Structure 1
Amino acid sequence: MDAARDPAAPPDGRLPVAVVCGLHGDARRAAVRRLLATVPGSVALHHDLSTAALGSVLRTVRDAAGVRDTGRAPLVSDCACCALREDLVPELLRLADDGLTRLAIVELWDSVEPKAMAEVIAAHNGDRLLLASVLTAVDPSLTLPCLGNGDDLADVGLAAAATDQRTVADTWARQLEYAPVLALVAGEDGSYGDEEDRALLAQLHPTARQIRVADGGALAEAAFGWGTGFDVEAAAARQHPACALLPQSADESGVVTYVWHRERPCHPGRLYEALEDLCCAAARSRGRFWLADRPDTLLAWDAAGGALCVESYGPWLAALPEAAWESVPPVRRAAVALDWHPEHGDRCQHLVFTSPGLDTDGVCRLLDSCLLTDDEYAAGPEAWERLAPAFDNLLEI
């Protein structure tokens, strides 16, 4: 590796750790190989969760020359992902203690999401480890097919536990949107997808740095985190529906991002009836919304592959007594200030839809039809709360 581009190791001697994830297995492995070849003294650690049926997870440690060590970690509570959590940090500490490893690369198994693993590693950011970066490896031409794949992970052999109910689409969306760096790998034809693929990727995660794996120096700098390290709290805040930095409106190469922002609650029954059409309208949609019958509850919307997940994220800030605001993270208070309404506070509708060929007018008309009518709105909050609930089954109440 060229000395001028050789990223500096932490001055306190901690071992930098780079997490590389992604459902695009070939792209992920290519990114790891490039890092091993570019950074002298780098070591990759991988846990193969596909061996869980045998009662354990296969651990492999390798460097640029090949496999250095293998071992097995027993399942924890019949959960392969739990075994990964239990085994990961001791292995990283062992690498830190050998004094020979310059960069530890944690190559996550296909469906493992980076957030949980990043937080496990960051919890041990002490005198021996430093979580330096999180990268998602991407083949741009596979972005849309993965977002459109509503298959359960269990049905395609990628479930991390017997209770894993995630789909290919929602798992890929979270992998893509969590990492601040996307490591791009060319497809079989040598291209980085077509114009539509690249526009979709840019609109799904507009703030991400895109680095081509072929540029080993730039990839290595990203893996070392440019010397700043990885902030798991900031990363979590970027995905929290109350303060997420959601994409803005865009229209490029046939890919459209539409932002629906309103300051009136939705009628629970009409919105529920529209869910199927809304979920199928876009490859990806997410954000926060406000139901008239749940005036104090911030609800998160997360849809990909034609499937929707609705979750309660606690109260809107306006529903809390002012004394409780001090316990709210500053990033959320800052986000609230941008949406504050003199009557409703931070209660609002903020949903973002991204897809090739998106019918923005149709999505807008359908969503607007779900808002309270003028007469319903004028009836006031007490009448709103008496509306028949429609989301109880989605919220598992």
Structure 2
Amino acid sequence: MKKIPVTVLSGYLGSGKTTLLNHLLNSDHGFKVAVVVNDMSEVNIDAELIKEGGFTRTDEKLVEMSNGCICCTLREDLLIEIDKLSRIEGIDYILIESSGISEPVPVAQTFTYYDPDLNIDLSERTKLDTMVTVVDANRFWSDYNSGQSLVDRQQGISEQDEREIADLLIDQIEFCNVLILNKCDLLEKNEIEMIERVLRILQPSAKIIKTEHGKVNPEEILNTGLFDFEQASRSAGWIKELELGADQHTPETDEYGISSFVYNRRLPFHSMRFHRWMTERLPYNVVRAKGFAWCATRNSFALLVEQAGSSISIQPLSYWVAALPEEQQRRIFRDNPNVLDSWDPEYGDRNTRLVFIGLDLDREEIEKELDECLLTYEEMNEDWNRLPDPFHWTISYQY
């Protein structure tokens, strides 16, 4: 059975996804397309705009999904609707316009697994072809640096939706095959080039297309064959930096002063000093920071450090292998012998690796300030559990 290819359009509210979708539907691309539109409002304005743009003059099928979000509350609806569309005779392409607050990873995952409750396996009839993210060039910096959450803008799924605007923008940029930098007519050439350079370092693998009014050649985003889930999952710039390693890293600094580097140390942070540096002293020109940290008061856990704009999070990710029982360690060593390549006799695999991406970064100063957050010789010999601890989370899972 020939699988129906699917293109997903992601992008924050107002980026121009619907304009792009209208353009595609009115283009001569040669496909008979079914469209799924997801919108968070009571009235599905996106669907109405599509109809006004000429959608009703075709034989294409429209599925409107309202009052929810594909990436969370409507995943079951998405499965059902895509399964229905894949069984309609004559349909040879499916376009999905995600809500502006949707995260692309869960949408992509919908096409990769079998749902036993619904008895639906989308991978049998469809294949995810292209993940597209539309970025509003004119509002990128103001949205990214706003410090607002979705709830602040009354755009959250509920009052409990604590996601930050900057985090959402980064999620959408870091997981895609094609980046559409839209509304370029509203900026000067040098401003567009700077944003493009930032996007490239945040997402080094995706094709970047600069456009006005969503006018893109359909061949750039339809039936491209670009999508591979594993590759997309590892395409973010911070992951590439960590994989490259400090010894092989080549600074990316260019005429716009955009650069990145990896801070790598094998000493623990004084938890309070590191927390204060991240939340109070992180340079304003750091666009993105992400990685893993070793903090003394949480010695058993690798901590995931994430920063996007003013949004900063430090949370437990997993146990260090060295903190696990010996039997479990032996199983890990047997299955993943490379863990032993950088094993410290006393502290095992504990270490800190943080990627910093930004504008005009002073690497020496950042590394100096972070080094001052590490435990001193005297503190290394103290009881680490008696050091001040700034983290308010507790661990609810066991080995």
Bin of the TM-score, shorter chain as denominator length: 0.7 to 0.9
Instruction: Return the offset for 1:100.
Output: 2.0
Give the structure 1 partner of residue 349 of structure 2: 346
Structure 2 residue 261 is the aligned partner of structure 1 residue 258: yes
Deviation at 1:322, TM superposition (A): 3.1
* One-letter amino acid of the counterpart of residue 103, structure 1: Y
Larger deviation: 302-311 or 272-281? 272-281
Q: Which residue is equivalent to 1:18?
A: 7
**Structure 1 CA distance for aligned equivalents of residues 283 and 187 of structure 2:** 33
Q: Distance in 2 between matches of 1:85 and 1:392?
A: 32
Equivalent in 322, 325, 334 of residue 329 of structure 2 = 322
Structure 2 unaligned residues grouped into runs of 5+: 114-120, 243-248
Task: Tell me the amino acid that sits aligned with residue 245 of structure 1.
Answer: K
Q: What is the rounded CA distance, in whole Å, between the counterparts of 2:71 and 2:202 in structure 1?
A: 27
97, 114, 117: which is aligned to 2:104?
A: 114
Alpha-carbon offset, residue 216 of structure 1 = 1.4
Deviation at 1:170, TM superposition (A): 1.0
Q: What's the counterpart of residue 389 of structure 2?
A: 389
| Deviation of 1:70 (Å) | 6.1
Q: Which amino acid aligns with 2:159?
A: A
- 1:80 Cα shift? 8.1
Q: Tell me by how many angstroms 1:267 deviates.
A: 0.6
Cα displacement string for residues 290-349 of structure 1 (whole angstroms, at most 9, x for unaligned residues): 101222211111112212112211112343433442898x7xx87x57865565443221
1:209 equivalent in structure 2:
207
Corresponding letter in the other structure for 1:196: M
Greater Cα offset, 254-263 or 141-150: 141-150
Letter in 1 for 2:387: L
Aligned to 1:48: 39
CA distance in 2: counterparts of 1:33 and 1:366, whole angstroms? 50
Measure, in 1, the Cα distance between the counterparts of 2:90 and 2:99.
Answer: 25
Q: In structure 1, the residue corresponding to 2:102 is in which secondary structure?
A: coil
Deviation at 1:390, TM superposition (A): 1.9
**Distance 1:16-1:354 versus aligned 2 partners, 3 A rule:** same
Give me the whole-angstrom Cα distance separating, in 2, the residues matched to 1:394 and 1:283. 29
What is the SS of the residue equivalent to 1:155?
coil
- Work out whether residues 200 and 255 of structure 1, in 8 Å CA contact, stay in contact via their aligned partners in 2: yes
1:264: Cα distance to partner?
Answer: 1.0
1:260-279 alignment, distance < 5 Å: 260-275=263-278, 276-278=280-282
Q: Distance in 2 between matches of 1:316 and 1:245?
A: 22
1:105-161 per-residue CA deviation (whole Å, 9 max, x = no partner) reads 111111111111111232234321222221211244543333212111112232123
Alpha carbons of 1:181 and 1:310: their partners in 2 closer, same or farther (altered >3 Å)?
same
Displacement, 1:386? Answer: 3.7
Q: Within 5 Å, give how 1:214-225 maps onto structure 2.
A: 214=215, 216=217, 218-220=219-221, 223-225=222-224
- Please state whether the residue corresponding to 2:80 is helix, strand or coil: helix
Seen in structure 2, the aligned counterparts of structure 1 residues 71 and 234 have a Cα distance that, compared at 3 Å, is closer
Tell me the SS of whatever aligns to 1:283: strand
Deviation at 1:49, TM superposition (A): 0.8
1:306 aligns with 2:310: yes
Q: Tell me if 1:66 matches 2:65.
A: no
Pair 1:92-2:91 in alignment? no
Report the equivalent of 1:375: 378
Distance of 2:204 and 2:161 partners within structure 1? 29
Question: Residues 302 and 60 of structure 1: is their aligned pair in 2 closer, same or farther, counting only changes over 3 Å?
Answer: same
CA contact (8 A) 1:153 1:164 kept: yes
- The number of residue pairs the alignment matches comes to 367
Give per-residue Cα distances to partners, 1:69-99, cap 9 Å, x unaligned: 66665768xx886442122122112221112
Root-mean-square deviation (Å): 3.5
Matched residue, 2:245: none
Residue in structure 2 matched with residue 245 of structure 1 by the alignment: 240
Return the letter of the residue paired with 1:216.
Answer: N
**Where does residue 135 of structure 2 map in the other structure?**
138
TM normalised by structure 2 equals 0.78
Code of the residue aligned with 1:304 in structure 2: it is A
> Which amino acid counterpart does residue 292 of structure 2 have in structure 1?
R
CA apart distance, 1:173: 0.9
C-alpha distance in 2 between matches for 1:314 and 1:280: 29
In the alignment, residue 146 of structure 1 is paired with which amino acid?
A: D
Task: Tell me the secondary structure at the aligned position of residue 85 of structure 2.
Answer: helix
SS of aligned partner of 1:50 = coil
Seen in structure 2, the aligned counterparts of structure 1 residues 304 and 190 have a Cα distance that, compared at 3 Å, is closer
- Deviation per CA, 1:5-36: give whole Å up to 9, x if none: xxxxxxx3121111110116343234434443
Choose the corresponding residue for 1:230, options 228, 231, 239. Answer: 228
CA separation of 1:298/1:323 partners in 2, compared to 1, >3 Å: closer, same or farther?
Answer: same
Please give the alpha-carbon distance, in whole angstroms, between the structure 1 residues aligned to 2:66 and 2:21. Answer: 25
Counterpart residue type for residue 37 of structure 2: H
Give CA deviations for 1:31-59 in whole Å, capped at 9, x if unaligned.
434443253222331111122xx8xx788
Report the 3-state secondary structure (helix = DSSP H, G, I; strand = E; otherwise coil) of the residue aligned with 2:263.
strand
2:99 maps to a residue whose letter is W
**In structure 2, what is the equivalent of residue 7 of structure 1?**
none
User: Which of 147, 152, 155 is the matching residue for 2:149?
Assistant: 152
- Does the aligned pair in 2 maintain the 1:114–1:178 contact within 8 Å? yes
User: The residue matched to 1:264 in structure 2 has which SS?
Assistant: coil
One-letter amino acid matched to 1:194: I
How far off its partner does 1:169 sit? 0.8
Report the counterpart of residue 287 of structure 1 in structure 2: 291
Q: What residue is the counterpart of 2:125 in the other structure?
A: 128
Output the CA distance in 1 between the equivalents of 2:126 and 2:370: 48
